[in-house]
Amino acid sequence: MKSGVALILIRLYPRAWRDRYGLEYRALLEARQSGISEVFDVALSAMSERIFPTQGGNMERDPGSFGAIVRHPSALIPIAMSLIALSLVVAPIPFHGPPVREPDEGAIGHLWQILMAGQLPILAFFAIKWLRRAPRPALGVLALQVGAVLSAMAPVFYFNL
Amino acid sequence: MRILLANRRELCDNYVMRSTSHVASKDGQDLGHYSDPPLLVLASLASGPKHGHAMIDDIQRLCGTRLGPGTLYGAIARLEQQGWIEPLEPEDRRRPYRITADGLRVLRARLSTMNQFLQAGLQRLEPQ
């Protein structure tokens, strides 16, 4: 079965089910020959799963899925730190106008630096722990974290602070 | 267990499963619907851990019935929820499952019941 078709079919299932079985189910679908009967079988099972969820919608997540990994503190904390650092620079703009470069960086500048530098060991811990266990979802989370870091750094470079 | 499992091919040949392709029909007759993909999954895992693709192939070899992927994973999810099978560490993207002690007990009980039914049914077919 083509990867795109498999992805569409898997999206018919409830999120909790996809988080738990999505990865292995996709591997199975991609390995099978596609046919009308297989597509119909998957669609019917997905509908059945939505009407009668396996564990009442409270299915235990696959610990190796993206949804489960991104909820770990080592994944969430760096993203939160970057977003706080971003808000430290961006939030005062509506009230005080664009920030200007000053010889003394001030409390906000120091706080920004602490937040950005402080997340590096957490990022390293996350990468060491999860890249071996679940490479693909971990890379997705790392991309999110890097995106958050870049978004926090963007206004600093933009305003030449 | 081995004696009971020896009857499984015979049992499977006499039923048409829900959401399956019955690819080895002996006489082309539809003998009715018997929905028990979980029993097929348990029987397949009784010979050792397998991932989904291997289970489909094994069940097809076992009794000529090809489970659809949706039906298979519907059964796997419910069997896992009941604690009758358990997941092992994934191999690449595929995750093998194995039958638990509870699962073996349930499979043994179900096959014993079916075996009794089979024996009784065959006896009735014997000329009086």
- Work out the angle at residue B44's Cα, subtended by the Cα atoms of residues B21 and B110, and round it to the nearest 5 degrees: 95
CB contact under 8 A, B93 and A23: yes
Q: What is the mean pLDDT of chain A?
A: 85
- Residue A21 to residue B70: CA distance in whole angstroms: 11
Number of Cβ pairs < 8 A linking chain A and chain B: 66
Evaluate whether A75 touches A126 at the Cβ level (below 8 Å). Answer: yes
pLDDT at B66: 85
CB contact under 8 A, B69 and A25: yes
In a domain? residue B38: yes
CB contact under 8 A, A64 and B56: no
pLDDT at B35: 58
Which candidate, A87, A101, A92, A94, places its Cα nearest to that of A157? A101
What domain range includes position B83? Answer: 2-123
What's the ipTM?
A: 0.70
Any A CB within 8 A of B22 CB:
no
CB contact under 8 A, B53 and A31: yes
Q: Which residues of B touch A10 (CB under 8 A)?
A: none
Q: How many CA atoms lie within 13 A of B94 on its CB side?
A: 14
**Domain ranges (residues) in chain A:** 3-51, 66-158
What Rg, from alpha-carbon coordinates, does chain A have? 22
For B93, the closest of A24, A44, A48 (CB atoms) is A24
The burial class, CB within 10 Å (0-12 / 13-18 / 19+), for A107 is exposed
In a domain? residue B128: no
Non-local (6+) Cβ contacts of A84 within 8 A are: A115
Q: Which residues of B touch A32 (CB under 8 A)?
A: 53, 56, 69
- Token pair recorded at residue B102: 């509870």
For A41, the closest of B19, B51, B76 (CB atoms) is B19
Any A CB within 8 A of B83 CB:
no
pLDDT at A55: 65
In a domain? residue B100: yes
Q: Which residue from B minimizes the CA distance to A12?
A: B70
- Residue A46 to residue A14: CA distance in whole angstroms: 8
Residue carrying the six token digits 């079988």: A41
Evaluate whether A29 touches A9 at the Cβ level (below 8 Å). Answer: yes
- Token pair recorded at residue A93: 């703009």
Q: How many CA atoms lie within 13 A of B90 on its CB side?
A: 19
pTM over 0.80: no
Q: What are phi and psi for residue A60, nearest 5 degrees?
A: -70, 130
Lowest mean per-residue pLDDT among A10-19, A51-60, A131-140, B107-116: A51-60
Nearest 10 degrees: CA dihedral of B96, B101, B104, B108? 180
CB contact under 8 A, B81 and A54: yes
CB contact under 8 A, A46 and B70: yes
- Residue A114 to residue A83: CA distance in whole angstroms: 13
- Residue A149 to residue A86: CA distance in whole angstroms: 9
Chain A nearest CA to B8, separation (Å): 24
Predicted confidence (pLDDT) at residue A16 exceeds the cutoff of 80: yes
Give how many domains chain B has, as a whole number.
1
Non-local (6+) Cβ contacts of A43 within 8 A are: A9, A12, B70
For residue B39, what is the domain's CATH number? 1.10.10.10
Which candidate, A104, A32, A74, places its Cα nearest to that of B51? A32
- The model's pLDDT over B41-84, given as tens digits with 9 standing for 90+, comes to 999 999 999 999 999 999 988 888 888 999 999 999 999 988 89
Chain A nearest CA to B68, separation (Å): 6
- The model's pLDDT over B85-114, given as tens digits with 9 standing for 90+, comes to 999 988 888 899 999 999 999 999 999 999
Any A CB within 8 A of B35 CB:
no
